[in-house]
Structures are given as structure tokens and as C-alpha cells.
Structure 1
Amino acid sequence: MCGITGLFDTRGQRAIDRSVLQRMNDSQHHRGPDEGSLHLEPGLGLGHRRLSIIDIATGQQPLFNEDGSVVVVFNGEIYNYQSLIPELQALGHVFHTKSDTEVIVHAWESWGEDCVKRFRGMFAFALWDRNRQTFFMARDRLAVKPMFYAVLDDGMLLFGSELKSLLAHGGLKRDIDPLAVEEYFALGYVAEPRTIFTQALKLPPAHTLCWRRGEPMPQPKAYWDVRFSLDNPIGAEEACAELRQRLEESVRLRLIAEVPLGAFLSGGVDSSAVVAMMAGVSSEPVNTCSIGFDDPAFNESAFAQTVADRYKTNHFVETVKSDDFDLIDTLARLYDEPYADSSAIPTYRVCQLARKRVTVALSGDGGDESFGGYRRYRLHLMEERMRSALPPTLRRPLFGLLGKVYPKADWAPRMFRAKTTFEGMARSSVEAYFHSVSILRDPMRDELFSPKFKSALAGYNAQQVFERHAAQAGTEDPLALIQYLDLKTYLVGDINTKVDRASMAHSLEVREPLMDHELVEWLATLPSSLKVRGQEGKYLLKKAMEPKLPDDILYRPKMGFAVPLARWFRGPLKQRVRDAVLGPRLAATGWFNPAYLTHLVEAHQSGARDYSASLWTLLMFEAFLRNVVDGAVAPSPTEPADMVMA
């Protein structure tokens, strides 16, 4: 696991300023504190920060092929590299290391752009082929690892694992993209391929960018997609057995390391399943890490302890105070662009705990998307059944009217909170799902934004992100469609972003067995009835794990990794919220309606409404403006042993 960065002159062979490249590389020191190296040649500069995991002795980067004509910087893990080495050796390639990185340069030589199709893992890499005068970037199928890039006005391409490395160059404009702001306030993150800055982009999941020097800028090219065929005739019992085999294989692949390795254990189904599988294939007790909260409403540590006891793991627990809100500015600097998932706080803390014990941790991330675990899936399917019972010509006007006139009753018992359901019933499937996952829904954003900002949007709505992906989904199955949307949006923009930044802030590698692309592909062949059955989500995973986990782990209500925002904003953070939301920095943008900002604060703090998610989104946006836009992102400390490779 590492940090990569660099520059590529797309038009010629201008000299690369070593001090600039060094600064870009130093900004990501936290991603790789063990070693740092640079490679410079005319028109190209590559930087690498190394967190040593595999082939510690000889796996340094940038790494070259036999004659030095191909060089790569790589972040991630190629889990099937050991099986690819003999295949490449049979094709005549000579290996000088035992690292997965060297597989990339030889695979490029033999298979060109299609090399990525042979890799099973999480990866982002940039490669230069001097003989072909070709620069090549790639990102893994589910975007576990990040890749940012920008092309400056003079034709210089910048890239990096984090946006801060591009900002450290000094030439990237900090002009904010209004369309990215719209996406952020709808979704809580800026969706791929956009970034918060107009000039910078994210390489989308499962895409490559291949640029021959001197040619016009190419478009990123997709090399993979998941297809929900739902046509596997397998029975439930056979599916459970095959799932256990596939989970075991996925976990086993992710246990290769030359450093201490463990797992996150929350006590939920996904992380517990991963730990159970690890225990079954490990010769030593598994190291597990959990955090508890001093507020019982958010504390799952007892469930984690149950799993730890069953499998006799080396279990480490730390309790986090429920008023752990001193990370706001730290998170703003860490994420480089606005990011509004408040579970970033406990995620940061559990990574901090894990790094005290291990260098690599396996997680249960990705299970909800592929197995059908989110509560919103069950609600959406219920609405879909109601939507299909009425023709759109009747349904839209009837429920549209009910949605407008029915009061929003956050204070009422759940059965009386029908406004959201009515609004959803008036929409198409994609519109309704976007509406259900939005932090500030369309009517709220309409009130939030000023006329000036709406003019800059020119009619753009973040729903277009979902519509673009839905057009590629290839399925009309109600569950499969929203699973596909989440795999393309929420998993990438929220979950993987959160875990990558939080873990790498502590120089911790996190591996994701439930996001193995072969497992995801197989699950997509199974009928939706094996994922959500009645009111039970993750049906297949739970049934498959019944021999390995107790029912009170498998079938208890999902808690999630939450923090008590509503209470914070009426108590210890009351003044901070007022200062941020109603203060000069947001006002200076001219993008927001001051009267609506005041309404959000006053209504929440009086107890009339729960606007905690909206206020957190505004709080983090204000922190981003202060920490990133107004001030330079502070680089990490420089590693004194850095070397230059020429």
C-alpha cells in the first residue's frame, strides 16, 4: 500500500522540476512512511511513497522492466500475482523481485492495455513505456484505490493518490466546480469522475487512460463492468456452500503479507463473517480490533466480543467518547474535498487503533451492496411493488400531491412519517432511489442555494449521476438496479473513499474480501430472492454463515457506525454550528440563501426538526473552504532517506 504521484508532459520533453515532484511526493508521506523514491527523465517524473507489505527487501518503486524502458508506480495489491509470475516467465520475462509490482510491467509488455483484465486486486498505477512513448494509468474495478489527475493549460498532466499531491504542485487552479457542489449537497461526496475543482478529475472505477505523447487527450476507457444476469439456477443450499468456498478463497488471497495482519471486527454480519473465515484458514489466532462507544445506543462492542470469544482471537478494544468531535478540521484536510459521512470519525479511530497492532487489516466493506443489506433496499422494494400497482398517469399526480401537503413529521412514530414515501411513489425508480439517499433532497437544495448559484448550475441536478449509471445497468430488476447504482456511486464515492483516507492517514493497509470482483460477479448471477427475502436482507450470507456465527449476530437489527450528531448540534457543538453555518466563510461564497441557513440552525437547535445530517454537510463544507481552498494543504513530513532514481 502506497502513495503515488507524478507529472507527464503530454506535448514534449520539458525538464521536470525535481523540487516540485519532491513536494508532491512529500504531501503523501502518510501513505508510505517506510521509503520514498523519485524517477525523473525528460518530460516525466514519478514519485512513490512506500508502506512495505510484500517483498520488503526488493520491492522498491518506481520499478522497471529488464531494460529500463518501462517504469511503474503502483498503489495497492495484485492478489493473484503469484500465479501470474510463472505465466509471464514462460513468455520470456525475467523477474528481479518477488513483488506484485513487477508483475505489472511485464504484464504490460505482454498484454498491453488488456493487462488490467488479468489482475485480481485493488490497484491504481501509472506506467511509462519509453519505447512506445506511452503513459498509461489504471484503477481497479470497484475503485478501492484512488487516482486523481489533471491536465494543466500547458499540457502537463499531474496525477496522484490524493488530491493534495496535485495541489502541492502549485499549478492546479482551485476554482470550484458548481456541479460538484450540487453533487456534494445531494450525496455527501463528489461523484466520479468529477472532483470539487474544475481542473481535476478522478479516474473512474474499472477505467484506464492511455496517452501517447504528442497526441490529443484521450478519454478514459472502461475495461470491466458487473452484469446482474440473475439467471443462475443454483438452489439456496448449494449457493450457501459455494458462497462459503468463495469467501474462504477471497480471504485466503488477502492474507499474503510480511507484516502483522488482522481484521476490523464491529460485531456486524460482514466483519464477523470475514473474521470467521480468517480463523478457519489461519494457523495462528486472528488479531481483531474494535472500538466501543460510551453511549450504549451506538455501542456494538459486546457483539464483537462474542465473535472474538468464539474464535479465540487476539482482540483489542478501545472505547471512544461519544463527544469525539475534535476531528472536523483534521478530516477536512485529510479528504481534500468536501466529504459528509460522519462515520468518518469512528472509522478514523478504528484505523488508529488497528495500526497500533497491525499493518494490514481485513474489513467487511462491500457486503451491503452485493448481498442486499441496506434497510433502504427493503423500503425501495416495498415502494416498487406499490408503484407497479398503479399506472404512472395516476400515480404521479396522486402521490405528488400527497407528498406536497403531508407534513414532514420527524417527531412522529415511524408509521406516521409518510411524506418521504408519498414523494417516492410519485417518482420513477431511479428518481425515487436518488431521492431516498439524498442528504438534502431537491426541495431543500432549491431553498439552500442562492439564485446566483442556481444560475451557475444551468439546470444541472445530481440525479443525472444516477441516470447515467442506470442507463448502463442492463437490468430492470428493482433490487439489482439499485445495487448496481450503489456499486457505482455510494460504494465508490463514500465507503471506499472513507476507508482509504482514514486508513492511510495512519499508514494502515485495508483489504476488502467482500469486494473481490470474482465474488461480486458471481453474486450478480444469483436471483434477488437470495439477497432480500421478505424483511430479511443479506439472506444468502446469513444462511451461509449459520454454521459459523450465532443467530444473535446474524439476525439482530443493524446498528451502523453512527455518531450522535443531533445531540452534538444541540449541545457541545451548538455554537460551532452557528459560527460555521451562519458565519462569514459560507456567506462570502454568495452560493447560499442566508434565510434558509438560519432556518436549518434554528429549527434544529430548538428541537422542532432534525436537520443534523444537513448541518453536518454544511459544517464539513465550511471546514473544506477554510482548510483546503483558503490555505495550502499541509504536506506530510519529508522522509530524510528519500532517494532519486534516474
Structure 2
Amino acid sequence: MCGIAGLFYPATPKPVDPQRIAKMIEVQAHRGPDGSGVWTAPGVGLGHRRLSIIDLGGGAQPMQSFDERITVTYNGEIYNFREVRLELEARGAHFVTESDTEVLLHGWRLWGPGMLARLNGMFAFALHDAERQCLFLARDRLGVKPLHYVELADGALAFASELKGLLAHPLLRRKPDIRAIEDFMALGYVPDDACIVAGVKKLAAGYCLLVERGKPVPKPVQYWDLDFSNRARGSASALEEELVERMRAAVRSRMVADVPLGAFLSGGVDSSAVVALMAEASTRAVKTCTIGFDEAGHDERRFATEVARRFATDHRERIVAPDDFSAVDRLVTAFDEPFADASALATYRVCELARENVTVALSGDGADEALAGYRRYKFQHAEERVRGLLPAGLRANVFGRLGHAYPKFDWAPRPLRFKSTLLALADDGDEAYARSVGVTTPTLRALLFTDAATRALGGHRAEERYVATMRGAPARDALDRAQYADIKHWLPGDILTKSDRTSMAVSLEAREPLLDHRLLEFAATLPVSMRLRRGQGKWLMKKAMERYLPQNVLYRPKMGFVTPISAWFRGALTDEAQGLAVSKTLSATGWFDMRAIQHLAEDHRAGKAEHGRTLWQLMMLERSLARVFG
């Protein structure tokens, strides 16, 4: 895995200072501690930091074609590079390295942007073609690898794997975007169609951008999308066998490496399935690792240990406790933008643990989105059935009134928390789902934001992107639409951002076999009953894994990789919560009502309300603002 950065002048080929490129990649050294390279030519400069995984002795970047026409800087892994290489060699290509990077050079020469359809992998790369006088940027289908870009005042298009690479350029104007703050407060992350620094963009998953000299920078072009509108035919047993075979192929393709390889093992279905398939394919004991919590309700170590014993893995574990709070500043540095998924702390710790023994680790990320594993899908599916029984006007009148009248029992057992369900039933299904994926509700955000912030937002509403995506989804069913929206927003914005930044912070390559695009394309065709049945998400996957995993791993309630921050803010981190109410950083923005923040902290500490996640959001925002904007 690697870090990339560069500059391209579309209007006129101005000279590029190699030292400027060097600074942009140096701040990303954690992404590639094994080597660096800078290449410049009139009007263009490319930089690279390398984490050596394949062809350790070769594959240095930026890499050029034999005639120096094409130069590429690339972050990622192309898992089918050997197959693509054979096809290129049959067409006359001559390779001089064993790396997957060289496939991009020959692929571009023969197919141009069309080569993306042939690649199976995770990647973000920039390719310069001297003959065509163009720069080509591309990002993998699901957004596993990041790519930021911005147009600077001197006419340059600057790009980098991480935002910090762009921040290293002196011409980048550091102005915060209030819309990204609204997005972050709603969702807990800054989504891929936004950035906390105004003007900076992220190339969307499954998109590419071709910038040609003498022409303005165009809009990116989508080269891949996931289609939920078709349904697979066949018996449950036949579909089960196909699912297993696709999972098996995805895992095996991601076990190719010239460095030590292992896996994260949480004890949940997804990571356990990956480890089972790795053990099946490996002649050696699979190296696995897990982290646990000192809060019993969040600790899955006993399940991970059971799976590790079942497959005789070389297993290690570590505990995350409140005194691990010291890692928060490292997370802020790793993410650049505010990121409030508190499981990032645990993910960072398990990446640290893995890196002690391996350079590549496979994870179980992606199965929940692909096969409807989240609990919210069950609720959305059930609520849609109720909505279909009653006219919209009647629902709004009956459920709306009940929902507004019913008290908000944050502290109560789940069966007594009817308020959100009643309000969801009163609303449109897409709107209700958009709210369900959020962290801080519109009502609470309205209390936290000042009038000045509300005016500055100009009506921008974070949930609208979800609603628009669901309504335009290539889908048949409400469950299809919810999964599609999560794959477009939640997956790249939260799950994959977390995986990339925490693993790269310790120079570890994380691979997600359950996000193989061919596996997802198949999963999207499965009938709803094969994904969600009798309240059981990932139904077909669990049935298929019965041959590998015990029932208590497959069918136990989903726990999730959740850091117990609510308990922490009532204990070891109480002072941190109180400090937010007098934060000079938050106060200086003029965006927040500091008294409202004080009430949040007090009510949470007293147990009157549940505000742990919102307090974590505010804390991470405070630290990110201080780091990025001073």
C-alpha cells in the first residue's frame, strides 16, 4: 500500500518544483515507509511513497513506460494483475518487472480508460500521458483507497491520497466549509461528496477523471455502478454454492503477497468466515489477532478465541480500555477531517497489533452492506411493510401524533424506545432511513447550531444526499435502496475511511475480500428473502457458512466493533466532556451554542439522556479544527 501526490497544469505547462512534490508525499510517509520517488516534467509532477508488498526488489514508483511516454503513481493492489498481464503479453506487451503497477502502463497504452473494466482490486492512481498531454485519475469501484484533489490559485490541479498531502501545498487556502460540518454532525463522518476544507474534492468510488491540456478540468465520469434491479434465479442451495465459491475466490485472490500476511478476527460472522476460507487455502497456520474491551457488553474475545482454536490459527489479542484515550490525537492526525466512528480507536489498536507480525491483514468489512447485515435493515424492511398497509396521510396523522407525544427514553431498555419508530412510520421511507443512519438528529443539531450557522448553511441538509440516492437507485425494493445508499455513502465515507487511515497510520495494508466487486454484483441480485429472512440479516451467507462455523458464532446477536464511549464519558472521560462546553476552538467558529453543549454534557453525565456519540463528535471536531485550521 502506498501514498501518492502530484500536480498538473491543464492550461499551460508551468515548471513544477520537485521539492514541492516531495513535501506533499513526505507528510504521507506512514503510507509508504519502504521508499519514495518524485518525477517531474514540464507542467506535471508525480510523487510516491511505497509500502512494498509485491515484487519487493522492483516496482519502484513513479514508474515509466519503456519509451517514457506514460508515467504512473499508484496506491493499491490489482488482484488479477497476472491474468491481465497475460492478456497484455498476448497483445505484444513486454514486461520488465513482476509488479502490478506495470500493468497500468501497458493497459493504458492498449485500452486507455477502458482498462478500468478489466481491473479487480483496490486502487487510486494518477497516470500522465506525454503524447496525449493529459492526466488520468481513477479510484476503485467501492472506494477502498482514497484520492483528494483541488484546483489551486496558480492553475494547478493538485491531488493526494490524504488531505494532509494537499495541506502541505502553500497555495491551498484553508477555509472551512460549514456544509461539511453539518454533514459531519449528522453522519459522524465527512462524506465523499464533501470536505471540511472548502474547494477540496474527493474522487468518488467507481469514478475517473481525465484532465487534458488546454481544456478546463471536467467533471469525473462514472465507470462502474452496482445494480440491484435484477434478480438471480435458482434454488437456495444453488445460490448458496455460488456465494461460497465467490467468497472463496475473493479470499484466495487477496492472499497473494511477498510479505507476511494475516487477518483481523473479531469473533463475528464476517471476519470468522474470512479466516475459515483462509485456513482452507493455506498450508500454514493463519496469523490472527483481535482486541477486546474492559466493558463486558462490548467484548467479543471469547468468540474470536473459539474460532481461532477451531482453525488452529496463530492467535493474539489485546485489551482496549479508557486509558487508551491517548491514541485519540494520533487518530486526529491520521484522519485529517473529523471522524466520529468511535470504533476507529479499536480498529487502530488491532492494526497496531497486527503490524507487529504481518504487513498485510484481511478483514471482514463489506458483508453487512452487501448482504443486509445491519440491524437497521431489519427495521427498515419491517417499517416499509407497515407503510404499505396505510395511506401516507393516515400514517402521518396517527403515527406522527403518537411519536411527538411519546417521551424520548434514551436511558430505557430498547423495547421502550418507541419514539423514533413511530416518527419513522409517519414519514416517507427514504427520509426515515436517512435519519436512521445518522448520529445527531436534525432536532439536536438545530439546538447545537447558532442562528449564524443555520443561515450560513442556506438550507443544506445532510440527509438529503441519502434521500436523493435512494430515490434514484437502480433497485426494486426498499431494502435494495437502503443497501445501495449505504454502499454509496456509508461504506466509503465511514467504513473504508476508517480501515484505510487506521491501517496506513501503522503502515499496514488492509484488504477486504468481501468487497470483491464480483461478489457484490452477485449479492445485489439475491432475492430479499435470501438477504433478510425472519429478522436474520445475511441469511444466505450464514446458511452457507454453517459448514465452517459453529451456530453460536453464526446466529448470536450482532455486537459490532463498538468502543464503549458513553460509559467513558460518565467515568474516565467526564472532564473531557465538560471541557467541550468551554472550548475556545468550538466557540471561535461561531457555529455552536456553548450553553447547549454544556447541557448535553451535564445530562449525559447525570444519566438523564444518552449523548455519548454526540459528545465524541464534538470532541473529534474540536481537535480536527485545531489541527487543520490552527
TM-score range, shorter chain: over 0.9
1:83 alignment partner AA: E
Question: What is aligned with 1:83?
Answer: 83
Q: Is the 8 A contact 2:229 2:476 kept in 1?
A: no
Q: Is the 8 A contact 1:322 1:563 kept in 2?
A: no
Q: For residues 398 and 594 of structure 1, what CA distance do their matches in structure 2 show?
A: 36
Question: What is aligned with 2:213?
Answer: 213
Look up the SS of the partner of 1:595 in the other structure.
Answer: helix
Shift of 1:229: 2.7
Please give the residue correspondences for 1:542-557 in structure 2 after superposition, counting only pairs within 5 Å.
542-557=542-557
1:76 alignment partner AA: G
Q: Percent identity?
A: 49
Question: What is aligned with 1:644?
Answer: none
Shift of 1:627: 1.9
Q: For residues 526 and 561 of structure 1, what CA distance do their matches in structure 2 show?
A: 27
Deviations 1:518-557 (A, max 9, x none): 0000111110100110121110111000011110110111
Q: Is the 8 A contact 2:192 2:202 kept in 1?
A: yes
Shift of 1:316: 1.4
Deviations 1:377-396 (A, max 9, x none): 11111111111111111112
Question: What is aligned with 1:60?
Answer: 60
Look up the SS of the partner of 2:536 in the other structure.
Answer: coil
Question: What is aligned with 2:275?
Answer: 275
Look up the SS of the partner of 1:325 in the other structure.
Answer: helix
Question: What is aligned with 1:415?
Answer: 415
Shift of 1:82: 0.2
Deviations 1:288-343 (A, max 9, x none): 11112233222111111111111111111122324422222221111011111000
Q: For residues 379 and 339 of structure 2, what CA distance do their matches in structure 1 show?
A: 26
Question: What is aligned with 1:359?
Answer: 359
Please give the residue correspondences for 1:304-453 in structure 2 after superposition, counting only pairs within 5 Å.
304-453=304-453
Question: What is aligned with 1:484?
Answer: 484
Deviations 1:214-251 (A, max 9, x none): 10110000001000134111211111111111111111
Shift of 1:112: 0.9
Q: For residues 161 and 254 of structure 1, what CA distance do their matches in structure 2 show?
A: 22
2:552 alignment partner AA: D
Shift of 1:399: 2.0
Question: What is aligned with 2:6?
Answer: 6
Q: For residues 413 and 260 of structure 2, what CA distance do their matches in structure 1 show?
A: 48
Q: Is the 8 A contact 1:230 1:528 kept in 2?
A: no
Q: For residues 526 and 562 of structure 2, what CA distance do their matches in structure 1 show?
A: 31
2:156 alignment partner AA: M
Look up the SS of the partner of 2:124 in the other structure.
Answer: strand
Q: For residues 262 and 8 of structure 2, what CA distance do their matches in structure 1 show?
A: 38
Q: Is the 8 A contact 2:76 2:124 kept in 1?
A: yes
Shift of 1:260: 0.2
1:159 alignment partner AA: F
Shift of 1:66: 1.9
Which segment drifts farther, 470-479 or 103-112?
Answer: 470-479
Shift of 1:15: 1.2
- 2:523 matched to 1:523? yes
Question: What is aligned with 1:301?
Answer: 301
Q: Is the 8 A contact 2:298 2:559 kept in 1?
A: yes
Question: What is aligned with 2:120?
Answer: 120
Q: TM-score, normalised by structure 1?
A: 0.96
Question: What is aligned with 2:195?
Answer: 195
Deviations 1:72-95 (A, max 9, x none): 000000111000112111222211
Q: For residues 355 and 408 of structure 2, what CA distance do their matches in structure 1 show?
A: 44
- 2:533 matched to 1:501? no
1:102 alignment partner AA: E
1:32 alignment partner AA: G
Which segment drifts farther, 302-311 or 568-577?
Answer: 568-577
Look up the SS of the partner of 2:23 in the other structure.
Answer: helix
2:108 alignment partner AA: W
Which segment drifts farther, 325-334 or 177-186?
Answer: 325-334
Q: Is the 8 A contact 2:11 2:216 kept in 1?
A: no
Q: For residues 2 and 89 of structure 2, what CA distance do their matches in structure 1 show?
A: 26
Question: What is aligned with 1:635?
Answer: none
Q: For residues 271 and 31 of structure 2, what CA distance do their matches in structure 1 show?
A: 24
Higher relative CO (CA 8 A, sep ≥ 6), structure 1 or 2? 1
1:173–1:339 Cα change, 3 Å: same
Q: Is the 8 A contact 1:329 1:627 kept in 2?
A: no
Shift of 1:398: 2.4
Question: What is aligned with 1:636?
Answer: none
Question: What is aligned with 2:161?
Answer: 161
Shift of 1:628: 2.0
Which segment drifts farther, 236-245 or 496-505?
Answer: 236-245
Q: Is the 8 A contact 1:229 1:526 kept in 2?
A: no
Question: What is aligned with 1:265?
Answer: 265
Question: What is aligned with 2:584?
Answer: 584
1:210 alignment partner AA: L
Look up the SS of the partner of 1:46 in the other structure.
Answer: strand
Shift of 1:576: 1.5
- 2:41 matched to 1:31? no
Q: For residues 231 and 331 of structure 2, what CA distance do their matches in structure 1 show?
A: 43
Q: Is the 8 A contact 2:399 2:425 kept in 1?
A: yes
Q: For residues 323 and 560 of structure 2, what CA distance do their matches in structure 1 show?
A: 17
Q: For residues 82 and 389 of structure 2, what CA distance do their matches in structure 1 show?
A: 54
Question: What is aligned with 1:627?
Answer: 627
1:180 alignment partner AA: A
Shift of 1:486: 0.7
1:538 alignment partner AA: K
Shift of 1:573: 1.2
Q: Is the 8 A contact 1:293 1:322 kept in 2?
A: no
2:393 alignment partner AA: T
Question: What is aligned with 1:640?
Answer: none
Question: What is aligned with 1:637?
Answer: none
Question: What is aligned with 1:643?
Answer: none
Q: Is the 8 A contact 2:70 2:128 kept in 1?
A: yes
Please give the residue correspondences for 1:169-180 in structure 2 after superposition, counting only pairs within 5 Å.
169-180=169-180
Shift of 1:581: 3.7
Q: Is the 8 A contact 2:175 2:197 kept in 1?
A: yes
1:421 alignment partner AA: T
Which segment drifts farther, 226-235 or 39-48?
Answer: 226-235
Q: Is the 8 A contact 1:332 1:628 kept in 2?
A: no
Q: For residues 577 and 413 of structure 1, what CA distance do their matches in structure 2 show?
A: 24
Q: Is the 8 A contact 2:18 2:39 kept in 1?
A: no
Q: For residues 582 and 371 of structure 1, what CA distance do their matches in structure 2 show?
A: 44
Q: Is the 8 A contact 1:295 1:322 kept in 2?
A: no
Look up the SS of the partner of 1:40 in the other structure.
Answer: strand
Q: For residues 581 and 101 of structure 1, what CA distance do their matches in structure 2 show?
A: 50
Q: For residues 230 and 530 of structure 2, what CA distance do their matches in structure 1 show?
A: 10
Shift of 1:577: 1.6
Deviations 1:570-601 (A, max 9, x none): 22111122112432211111101223212211
Matched residue pairs, number?
630
Q: For residues 618 and 295 of structure 1, what CA distance do their matches in structure 2 show?
A: 23
Deviations 1:39-67 (A, max 9, x none): 01111111100000001111111111120
Which segment drifts farther, 189-198 or 262-271?
Answer: 189-198
Shift of 1:400: 2.1
1:257 alignment partner AA: A
Q: For residues 291 and 474 of structure 1, what CA distance do their matches in structure 2 show?
A: 38
Q: For residues 619 and 325 of structure 1, what CA distance do their matches in structure 2 show?
A: 12
1:307 alignment partner AA: V
2:412 alignment partner AA: A
Q: For residues 50 and 107 of structure 2, what CA distance do their matches in structure 1 show?
A: 22
Instruction: Give ranges in structure 1 of 5+ residues lacking alignment.
Output: 631-646
Q: Is the 8 A contact 1:209 1:220 kept in 2?
A: yes
Q: Is the 8 A contact 1:185 1:439 kept in 2?
A: yes
Q: For residues 475 and 236 of structure 2, what CA distance do their matches in structure 1 show?
A: 22
Look up the SS of the partner of 2:168 in the other structure.
Answer: helix
